[in-house]
Structure 1
């Protein structure tokens, strides 16, 4: 504010042309943001999507989801986080000390984007003693499901039975770049998801986890019930998971808030640390 106040007398003494130039320069500076903020209304650039990007906008958030006020329903579950390039280099030791024991980092999107911070996030979490995995943000409007599964596996999304690597995740949710269902009919979306899952299973020997929100799944797949053999990661920012998509009687993971400590997105694994290790080992 002081800088603005001190400039006022100087502007008064200048010509209208000078004042106009100053104001134009300020407007141009303010009109070019350094980055599109999380939750902003501006359509983001391709590659900038992250897990849960559309959940707040479409499904909202209920009170009581902060990490320091966990409900009794989460007793016996294991805390986790998910990150993308938005978080840049992550303070993994801080997260471990806070109780986080598993993490997922965005590896890829479509067939052209790789997370520039993936190595620090994927390897750094493991070095801190956190079981980690990778996720792929699906863009069914750009390339086929099998092609995206291949790209994911080839760029960090694989799996190994080392006890510290979680199976890859297909993040299939609200489209941040356009129409909710990526321009596909319900049957076309089911086919696309099936192609991705089939190729991932062939490439890795593991069933990929499906991350989604019930409302999106209902709208864009017709609440298809045929993928229940894949573990479910449900997104709902509330004190309970609510109704699950058809085909799943229970969830494996739950993204319950986007406002957690150290990083925003916090999750729960539906079991204790020993069960988490068993899940990782396959």
Structure 2
């Protein structure tokens, strides 16, 4: 009798319940083990430890391949080729977790609009305005506005000691009536520093970027007492003016408007073009068209008479034009 669980040879180890696949597995272990050892030896020590499990997995995969191919009627695969084909996983950085997709995140965000500079306001017909001081007394600004005046300059300070006592009422009254208003300082360069006069002027003027205020004005004229350039050289006058304007820029963010006449600019400022980027308020009377001083490309404001008559003001008044039209005047007042 043949013992149970043995084959006809009587050798229990030769009992094959897998159609002859167990012997193939043993042969793979015997023939493939040296090759797998070589593979592990070729890896760096750090990778060898990290991939030990991977190699084992690869070996199992190869065994499965060999067993699958070891059925009767098929030739044994080459163990070396099978090992090379089996994947040997390498340690890698785990993939980052993807952010959950929500309806908000799945919708493409609209592109941000390109920042575009505001187009320049179109030029228009000249705009009429006035300038006033304490000499003009009380003013009915509603009548000034009804008379077609769109802007005014108001004297704030003179030199280092004089302040227009009517500045507040004239300046506020003009704005309340709808006029665009600006303050001016009568400069006296020979009497004190540019910093001192600029600080005093700006403290009085109380410039506000409210859309109704013109940049501060530096009024440059000959010395009303002695004539000439206050005893200063051209270079000294230029430096004084530069320092005053830098203080205005520092405190208001605006370049000062420069008031001057052609002869003063030539004799006291040497026809410099150092202030050509500033708006020019040009004083020139009894002419059809003013002569622009060297150093400026054109005039912006033109004071064309000191003997004007305006409704709401009992005295003669300086009359002015702004050359570029109302839209650009409003742009200047921003």
TM-score (norm 2): 0.60
- Give the alignment of 1:1-282 within 5 angstroms: 76-156=125-205, 158-262=206-310, 263-281=316-334
Q: Would you say the 8 A contact 1:208–1:230 is kept in 2? A: yes
Q: CA deviation at 1:104?
A: 0.7
Note the alpha carbon deviations across 1:192-226, whole angstroms, 9 max, x for none. 11110111101110000000000111011111111
- The alignment covers a number of residue pairs equal to 206
- Is the partner of 2:307 in helix, strand or coil? coil
Quote the RMSD (CA, aligned, Å).
1.3
- Is the partner of 1:159 in helix, strand or coil? coil
Q: CA deviation at 1:179?
A: 2.7
Task: For 1:100 and 1:110, locate their aligned partners in 2 and report how far apart those are by CA, in whole Å.
Answer: 28
Aligned counterpart, 2:65? none
Q: Would you say the 8 A contact 1:241–1:254 is kept in 2? A: no
- Is the partner of 1:180 in helix, strand or coil? coil
- Is the partner of 1:165 in helix, strand or coil? coil
Q: Residues 186 and 241 from structure 1, CA distance in 2 versus in 1: closer, same or farther, beyond 3 angstroms?
A: farther
- Is the partner of 1:258 in helix, strand or coil? strand
Q: Would you say the 8 A contact 1:236–1:256 is kept in 2? A: yes
- Is the partner of 1:196 in helix, strand or coil? helix
Q: CA deviation at 1:147?
A: 1.5
Q: Which has the higher contact order (CA 8 A, sep 6+)?
A: 1
Q: CA deviation at 1:241?
A: 3.8
Task: For 1:191 and 1:231, locate their aligned partners in 2 and report how far apart those are by CA, in whole Å.
Answer: 18
TM-score (norm 1): 0.71
Q: CA deviation at 1:250?
A: 1.2
Task: For 1:114 and 1:241, locate their aligned partners in 2 and report how far apart those are by CA, in whole Å.
Answer: 33
